[in-house]
A = this chain, B = another copy of it.
Amino acid sequence: MQVTETRKRTRRGTQRVTMTDVATAADVSPSTVSLFLRRPESVSRHLAERIARVIDEMGYVPNLVAGSLAAARSRTVGVILPSILNSFFAETYNTLQGMFQAAHYQTLLGVSEFSPEEEESLIRAFLAWSPAAMVVTGFHHTERTRSMLASCGVPVVEMWDMPGHPGEAVGISVGFSHFEVGRMQTSHLYDQGSRKVAYIGAAASQDLRVRSRTDGYEAEVMRRGLHDPIDFTVPDAATTEVGRWLIDEILTRHPDIDGVVCSNDALALGVLFEVTRRDLRVPDDLAVVGFGDLPFSNSCPPPLTTVRPPQREIGRLSATQILAALDGVRVTQKHHNLDCELVIRGSTRPVAKR
């Protein structure tokens, strides 16, 4: 019967295999193991093979907590999204995650539910983990968030928006002009024949980007000068249900509108549903333009004309900027403004012209 090793049981101590265990087993020093893990090419082939074999045999998993403490940084990138309820940011997130993973950084996701306070608490929590970088959505932060981000000493990207004035962005910005989106949506409706265009929006109380799009709408309406802006924007979440309800309200009060701009494709879908119920024809009686190009937008009857944000490109560029900064490359351009694409489909294109 084997005597149980009376290893000097310190107060703590896990069963975990440590780097020292590996080093002992491979008959090298812990530094060599550490070096092997970080820069395998600077360890001789001979030892590298032996260490690799021992690591595999012992099932060694490096303790990132200890590593991060010693190095005062981690291979972790914090990402904050406002919501995962709609698929708006999903593509961007997937791109970010993919690129960071390829560079051996781990992505951690926090969801702020559009609340700057919640965002602050998430960022505080992330920073306590000494991340290598942070990616946040938009510029709408609390004062404390701004100062934390400004002073944390890691690269920060604010994505999905474009700074309206200098100093609005804390870090690098990667996004597009929501004002321009609103203008583009509205302009397109006039161009294809609408003469009285209304706007419906949702979630504006929380999402300042919706507000910018509305501003773009109003500017374009004023420029055309055919009528006063008609803006029905509510603080509720942007759902199909709310879209139905809003268009219902608008059609009751302004039965003569012949075009509607929606802050979100989910709302636009609700508009299509309600308009169908009322036996109006789209786009002949009412042209509809949305924003987001959500998964259903191409398959509803009629397919939805919409503005497609550069979701993937935002992710790609954000990750590129951060990885460059982490590699010590000096930032040449702090703000990256991308273009959105107007995807013209059946909801604004008269059937005759198809």
A37 contacts the other chain (Cβ, under 8 Å)? no
Q: Check A69–B65 contact: CB distance below 8 A.
A: yes
Known A-B contacts A240-B295, A240-B299, A295-B266; A128 and B64 likewise in contact (beta carbons under 8 Å)? yes
Chain B nearest CB from A343 CB (Å) reads 14
A14 partner residues in chain B, CB cutoff 8 A = 72
Assembly stoichiometry (copies): 2
Which of A86-94, A156-164, A184-192, A314-322 touches B? A86-94
Question: How far is it, in angstroms, between the C-alpha of A295 and the C-alpha of B14 when the chains are bound?
Answer: 46
Chain B, Cβ-Cβ closest to A297: B240
Known A-B contacts A87-B86, A111-B93, A296-B266; A65 and B61 likewise in contact (beta carbons under 8 Å)? no
A270 contacts the other chain (Cβ, under 8 Å)? yes
Known A-B contacts A63-B128, A72-B14, A130-B65; A241 and B299 likewise in contact (beta carbons under 8 Å)? yes
A94 partner residues in chain B, CB cutoff 8 A = 111, 113
Q: Check B90–A128 contact: CB distance below 8 A.
A: no
Chain B, Cβ-Cβ closest to A125: B106
Q: A101-128, CB under 8 A of B: which get 1 and which 0?
A: 1000010111101000000010011011
Q: A121-163, CB under 8 A of B: which get 1 and which 0?
A: 1001101111000000000000000000000000000000000
For chain A, give the interface size range. 35 or more
A253 contacts the other chain (Cβ, under 8 Å)? no
Known A-B contacts A108-B108, A128-B62; A239 and B295 likewise in contact (beta carbons under 8 Å)? yes
A276 contacts the other chain (Cβ, under 8 Å)? yes
A72 partner residues in chain B, CB cutoff 8 A = 12, 14
Chain B nearest CB from A51 CB (Å) reads 18
A273 partner residues in chain B, CB cutoff 8 A = 299-301
Q: A76-105, CB under 8 A of B: which get 1 and which 0?
A: 000000011111001001100100010000
Interface residues of A (CB under 8 A from B): 12, 14, 61-66, 68-72, 74, 83-87, 90, 93-94, 97, 101, 106, 108-111, 113, 121, 124-125, 127-130, 239-241, 243-244, 266, 269-270, 273, 276-277, 295-296, 298-301
